[in-house]
Structure 1
Amino acid sequence: MNLLPPEAHAAWRQAVWQQAHQAPTQPRLPLCAGQDTIGSVAPALLERLAAHGVPLHSLGLHHRRGAQGETWHLNGPLTPALAQLALALQAAGLVRHWHGEALAVRDAAGSCIGAGERGIARLLGMPTQGVHLVGVAPSASDGASTWVQQRSAHKAEFPARWDTLMGGTVALGETPESAWQRELWEEAGLHTTDLHALQHHGRIRVAHPVTHGDNDDGLSYSVEHLDCYLAQLAPGTTPNNQDGEVQRFELLPPHALAERMARGCFTPEAAGVLLRVSGWGFDENGTW
Structure 2
Amino acid sequence: MPSTALLPDPAHLLACRARLNHQAQQLPPAGARPVTLAGRVGGWITPAAQAAVAGLPGVHVEPEAVHVTAGARRSLDTVLEHMAQALNQAGLIRAWRNESLDVVAEGQRLACIERGAMRPLGLLTQSVHLNAWAPDGRLWVARRALDKSTDPGLWDTLSGGLVAAGETCATALLRETYEEAGLPAMMLDGCGPLRTVLRMHRRLPDGYQVENVLLADCVLPAGVVPVNQDGEVIEFRCLDLAGLWSCLEGGVFTLEAELCILDSLQRRLADPVAQAS
TM-score, L = length of structure 2: 0.86
> In structure 1, which of residues 94, 104, 107 is the aligned counterpart of residue 92 of structure 2?
94
Identity %: 35
Q: Assess if the C-alpha contact under 8 Å between 1:194 and 1:237 holds in 2.
A: no
Hey, what's the Cα distance between the residues in 1 that align with 2:88 and 2:260?
Answer: 32
For residue 245 of structure 1, what is the aligned residue in structure 2?
232
Q: Which amino acid aligns with 2:139?
A: T
Q: Is residue 2:185 matched to residue 1:192?
A: yes
Q: CA-to-partner distance for each residue in 1:227-256, whole Å, 9 max, x for gaps?
A: 210001110000010000001011111122
- Report deviation, 1:261: 1.4
2:139 alignment partner, SS class: strand
Which stretches of structure 1, 4 residues or longer, exceed 6 Å deviation after superposition?
none
> In structure 2, which of residues 202, 207, 211 is the aligned counterpart of residue 208 of structure 1?
202
1:89-128 aligned within 5 A: 89-109=87-107, 111-128=108-125
2:121 alignment partner, SS class: coil
Q: CA-to-partner distance for each residue in 1:200-237, whole Å, 9 max, x for gaps?
A: 25112122123xxxxx3xx4111111221000111000
Q: Which amino acid aligns with 2:34?
A: P
Hey, what's the Cα distance between the residues in 1 that align with 2:100 and 2:194?
Answer: 26
Q: Is residue 2:153 matched to residue 1:153?
A: no
Unaligned residue ranges in structure 2 (runs of 5+): 269-277
Q: CA-to-partner distance for each residue in 1:89-119, whole Å, 9 max, x for gaps?
A: 112222221111111111212x211111111
Q: Is residue 2:210 matched to residue 1:223?
A: yes
Q: Which moved more, 1:76-85 or 1:272-281?
A: 272-281
Hey, what's the Cα distance between the residues in 1 that align with 2:14 and 2:88?
Answer: 45
Hey, what's the Cα distance between the residues in 2 that align with 1:155 and 1:25?
Answer: 23
> In structure 2, which of residues 68, 74, 92 is the aligned counterpart of residue 74 of structure 1?
68
Q: Which amino acid aligns with 2:110?
A: I
Q: How large is the RMSD of aligned CA atoms in angstroms?
A: 2.1
Structure 1 residues 106 and 166: alpha-carbon distance in aligned structure 2, compared to 1, 3 A threshold: same
Q: Which amino acid aligns with 2:17?
A: R
For residue 213 of structure 1, what is the aligned residue in structure 2?
none
Q: Assess if the C-alpha contact under 8 Å between 2:50 and 2:61 holds in 1.
A: no
Q: CA-to-partner distance for each residue in 1:138-180, whole Å, 9 max, x for gaps?
A: 32xxxx2111111011111111111000001110111111111
Q: Which amino acid aligns with 2:13?
A: H
Q: Which moved more, 1:5-14 or 1:168-177?
A: 5-14
Hey, what's the Cα distance between the residues in 1 that align with 2:98 and 2:178?
Answer: 21
Unaligned residue ranges in structure 1 (runs of 5+): 211-215, 282-288
Q: Assess if the C-alpha contact under 8 Å between 2:37 and 2:68 holds in 1.
A: yes
Q: Is residue 2:140 matched to residue 1:183?
A: no
Structure 1 residues 92 and 205: alpha-carbon distance in aligned structure 2, compared to 1, 3 A threshold: same
For residue 21 of structure 2, what is the aligned residue in structure 1?
17
Hey, what's the Cα distance between the residues in 2 that align with 1:91 and 1:14?
Answer: 39
